[in-house]
Structure formats: structure tokens, C-alpha cells
Amino acid sequence: MTNPLLETTDLPQFSKINPADIQPAIEGIIESNKSNLDQLLQSTKQFTWNNFIAKIEKDEDKLSKAWSPVGHMNSVVNTSELRDAYNACLPILSKYATEFGQNESVYRAYKQIADSAEFKELDEGQQKTIEYALRDFHLSGVDLPSAKKEAFKEIKQELSSLSAKFEQNLLDATNSWNKNFADESALKGLPEFSIAMAKQAAAEREQEGYTITLEFPSYFAVITYADNRELRHEAYEAFCTRASDQGPDAGKWDNTEVIYNTLEKRLEAAKILGFNNHAEKSLATKMAENPQQVINFLNDLANHSTAKAKAEYAELEQFAQEEFGINTLEAWDVSYASEKLRQKKYAISQEDLRPYFPAPKVIQGLFTTVEKLFPIKIEQISDFDSWHKDVSFYQINDLSDNQIGRFYFDLYARQNKRGGAWMDECKKRFVSNSINQTPVAYLTCNFAPPVGDKPSLLTHNDVTTLFHEFGHGLHHMLTVIDHPSVSGINGVPWDAVELPSQFLENWCWNKETLDMISGHYESDEKLPNELFDKMLKAKNFQAAMQMVRQIEFALFDMRLHTEFTSDSTTQVEDILREVREQVAVMIPPAFNRFANSFSHIFAGGYSAGYYSYKWAEVLSADAFSKFEENGIFNQKTGEQFLTTFLQNGGSRDAMQMFIDFRGREPKIDALLRHSGLA
């Protein structure tokens, strides 16, 4: 029987992937790649792009395509067998990547090509591929003496396993907690849709009545709408103590030691390479120049936001006291009181909007929006292999009907699926000799699923999330760069990679767009003008509070990776407390263990990089202001955005691309104006 991971099919055969096949397939590809590389090094005297780098890229692409469906399924249809197979491969892949990065012969071959006359003849993408490769050889320890190389390799393997352990602990802790009620009166205050979702969750678990869980749509409904303060308290405590030494499952899947070991190993790796800390190492591949520049940037944003955030919080405290007799506003009261205050001030709630945003309508409207901005067409494909019945699949063509890219949508929350929303690569664009590969993306969200015969109904926040992830998808799929190391999102500095995603969110606030993406699930009525006006008025409700919350996460991340030393086991909580004292308007209770579920920085690639969201928001707001000047659907501006940012991937300098598009360096003004903080 053939191994589906080794078959050269156009798309992964998800339904045929057997966990027992995974490790043999990955090991087989790695052994083949190593053998091919040895042969290339021995048989080649004068290295060129075609006789060396093009062949390496082909082998690396084969490994990437085999591993991609495994990593993806581990996130979205997690089982113990799949998890074991995934974990078994992590150290093997890490060792292989580090050995390649430390291979002096390969480094010298790349260097020979960089120094040759041929280099000047190569296209911009090829030159960038070589430039980034040489940088990454140094960051992999190619210059190190052999003992340090070995130590570095072991650390990288350990870090890979720690990242997976963090994510698994969090998934297990999220799945473990649920609370069942015989009677819906216990859920008083929750919208009808959320109560129906709780009834469905109970049925899925073969329980009677209604069940709430820590999957985000369920938790969010409770913390925002439940009139029962004790229930909010209980759900909050379960959610913010996941994978920690506190809460209902205290110590069971505790990430505390995982965090400490991760920070220790990151520091060790950075010092071996000659950096003072992990933050410096992380920024070696980003737009920001050093940790202090990032901290200054975040402090500057905080200076523009803190006074307003404190005023917003004081207003909330007063409202909660007058309206509900809550003398001390607790963490589990904030979302609830905020939602009630929003309704009082603007007579609008996310739940008022939900009936107007059935998922099928929003998806079609999203496609129409990007088709008006860029010269593309999107069509659904019905015949494809999948990992779950809820998944859909689409193709993007240019206006001459040539395929540009394809993508999977997996939009609904369920058990054994990682929380959050993300875009990931299934296949990269790769054009070389006989290869003509178009990109394929996974687009994953955790929206409330369809209930009974009702479609999934999205909040406006959900709509914004969908646009955000699709922006990442377009960045991956609309690239025209042929070399996988710099096509799509590859090679793009981490603090610029959020630009297209945050940029696309702006269309969610435009009436013309909203008319395309809205339609009441019963009557198909567009979002009424009255609701749109209220939405706009409420757009920057508590914007300063949201701003300082993001600054809190980003400052904590940057300071932690700049200041961490391995001689204190309380340092994580100490730094978080100091950051909160500086910028937070509400200090959470002592049992809160935010860091233990902060997967962005401990399992998601954002370590010493969470600031990227705000950094890129400055870029995206400023880029969008050009559309505000020229017209929201101005095709010339849309085409310019496409050809400057989306098509070039990582083949050009990010700041230079921005200057080319805007005619100047970025300014903070547009972000402050969009946030109501100007």
C-alpha cells in the first residue's frame, strides 16, 4: 500500500493519512534530501543557481508539502495517535533543519554564488533568496565551533518539542472543562443563538440540557451576556487558568515549567550565537532594529492611549455601580458591563448584528469585495479531499481564467480543534524548469457553528476576523514570485506580515462593502442604515482600553525576552505585573495565569514579535489612508497595492515597498485617527 504523504498528488489526501505512515514518510524524504545534497556537493565544482539552489529548493518543497497536512491536521482534528506521530517527527525535522543551516559546505556554495558574476544577472527574488539564506546560516550557527554547533542543535530540538507541548497542554485544558445545566434559565441573558449552541454542545457530548465550554464562542457568550455573576466568575476562572497551577484543573496540564524551560533555552540559543538575549536574535530578521526601539514605539502608543483608557474604565466602573450595584468591578464583570454600556450609549450589540451576517452571505460578499479591489475571480470547487465535513474549497483565477491559487476554509469551532484564527501554507508558489506550482492556503477560524437548520451567524467582530485572515491568504496566494523562500509570506519580516491582513479589515466598516456582505438570514434584508450608523458611532467604543491591552501583551513579550535570566522562577509573573502597573487599566485577580495560554509567543512564532500587530497596524492604517484619499474601491490604487505588496512577497525590502506605495515613510497619525485617539 502506498504512503499518501509520498504520492505526488495535486493536493493532500487528508482522508487517507494514517498516523502510522507519518514518521516513515518524513524520515524517508529527509534521508533522500540529505543524499541528494551530498551528491550535489561532491559532483559540483562551480556552483550556480540552476545546478545547486534550484535543486535544493525542489527537495525542500517536497518535504514542506508532506509535513504541511500533518501539522495542519494536528491543529484542527487532533487525536492522540496523530499527536504522537506529530511529536515524534518534531525533533527529526528540527535536527535536519539545524544540520542544513550549520553545513559549512552548503554555506560556502551559497557564498560562492553570491560572490560570482552570475549573481548580478539573477532576478530580485533569487538575490533575496541567497541574501536571506546567508543570514540564516549565521543564525543557525554555521560559524560556531563543533561543540557549540551540537549544543545549539539540541536546544533547537528541545524548543520544537516545548512549543508542541505548550499547545497540547492548552488544547487538553480547554477540552477538559464544561458545565452542564438542565434548565436554560441558568443561562439567562445569553442570546437565543448562544443558548441553541449550548443545547447543541450538550447533544454532541450525549448530555441532556445545555452545556457551556471553553471553546471561544461559548466562553465569549457567557462572559459577555450571562446575567449570573457567579457563572461569569466560574467561566472566567476556568478560562484564564487553563494549563496552569490555578483553577479547576490546577496542575493537570500546567505550562509553567514549559514556559520557564522555553525562555531558558531561547536565551541559551541567543547567547551561543553572540546575542545578549532572545529579543535581539528575534529582531535580526524583522524591520525593527533593536528591542529598545520596539519598547519606545510601544511606550509612545501608550502615551497616546493611557489617559483615555483610564477615563473609559472610570466611566465603566461608574456605570456598573449605578446600573448593577457592582461596587468593585471584577475581571469577569468587564465584558458584561461593557456590552451593557455599549447598548445604553449606542443601542447596539454584536448580537443585534449577528442575524445580518450569515456565514455564506459574508463569504460571498468577501469574495466580491476583493474582486472589486484586485483583478481576480473566486469560484468554489466541490470535488476535493478533506479532513472534516465542514471544510470548503475554492480557486482564485486571474481575469483570463488562469489559476493563481486555491484555499481551504475551516471556519467553525469544534472539539479537538485549536482555538483562534490563522492562515497557514499548504503549498507555496514555485516555478522552476518543469515545476509550475500555484499556492494553496489553509484559512482557519473558530466561529459559532450552524445550529439546526440555521446557518452560522457571525458577529461583526467575526466578520473582521474573516477579512483579516483572508488578507493573509491573499498575501500568500497572489504572489508572482517564483522562488518559494521569498514567495507569498515567505521572507517577509514578521513585523510587516500583518500589513495585508489588517489592511483588509478596513472594508468591514464601509457601507458599500457591508451591503455586499450582509443579508438577514431569514429575509435577506441588508444591514439597515440605522444599525450601520450606530455601528460607526460605537466603532471606537473603549478603543483606548483595547489599545492598552494590546500594548500590555506586546510590552510583556518584548521585556520578557529582553530581561529574562534563568535565576528567578517568578520572573514571568513579575514582569507581567510591572507591565500591567504601567499600562493596564484593570489589574486581573491573583489567580489569573494569562502567560500559560499565551500561545502566540510560546507556540506560535510571535516570541519577541507580538509588537508586530501594532507595528503593522501603523503601516496598514497609513496604507489604507491612500484609499480614503483616492476612493475606497479605486482600481488604480488597488492594483498598486497588489503589485507593490501582495505580489512581491519577501523579494523586496519591506520599508522600500511601503515608501514606493505611499511616497514616504509611515506615520502614526492614521492609526490614531482610526482609533479615535488623534
Task: Give dist(CA 16, CA 12) in Å, integer.
Answer: 9
- How many C-beta atoms lie closer than 10 Å to residue 416's C-beta? 16
Task: Give dist(CA 407, CA 392) in Å, integer.
Answer: 9
- How many C-beta atoms lie closer than 10 Å to residue 655's C-beta? 14
Task: Give dist(CA 353, CA 350) in Å, integer.
Answer: 5
Q: Distance between the two ends of the chain, CA-based, in angstroms?
A: 64
Helix then strand count (H, E) for the chain reads 27, 9
Task: Give dist(CA 74, CA 418) in Å, integer.
Answer: 9
Concatenated DSSP letters of 357-416: -BHHHHHHHHHHHHHHHSSEEEEEE-----SSTT-EEEEEEETTS-EEEEEEEEEE--TT
- How many C-beta atoms lie closer than 10 Å to residue 649's C-beta? 29
Q: Which three cell numbers stand for residue 173?
A: 485544558
3-state class percentages of the chain: helix first, strand second, coil last, to nearest 5: 60, 10, 30
Residues whose CB falls within 8 Å of the CB of residue 562, separated by 6 or more in sequence, listed in order: 277, 279, 280, 291, 295, 608
Q: Which H helix or E strand runs over 430?
A: strand 430-432
Active-site option among 469, 498, 552, 617:
469
- Angle at alpha carbon of residue 31, lines to 30 and 35, rounded to 5°: 115
Residue 573 a catalytic site member: no
Task: Give dist(CA 457, CA 362) in Å, integer.
Answer: 9
Longest dimension (CA), the chain: 81
Task: Give dist(CA 57, CA 486) in Å, integer.
Answer: 11
- How many C-beta atoms lie closer than 10 Å to residue 2's C-beta? 8
Residues whose CB falls within 8 Å of the CB of residue 238, separated by 6 or more in sequence, listed in order: 177, 214, 247, 248, 249
- Angle at alpha carbon of residue 103, lines to 101 and 106, rounded to 5°: 95
SS3 460: helix
Q: Which H helix or E strand runs over 159?
A: helix 146-176
User: Do 223 and 194 touch, CB atoms closer than 8 A?
Assistant: no
SS3 180: strand
- How many C-beta atoms lie closer than 10 Å to residue 119's C-beta? 16
- How many C-beta atoms lie closer than 10 Å to residue 344's C-beta? 10
Residues annotated catalytic, as ranges:
469
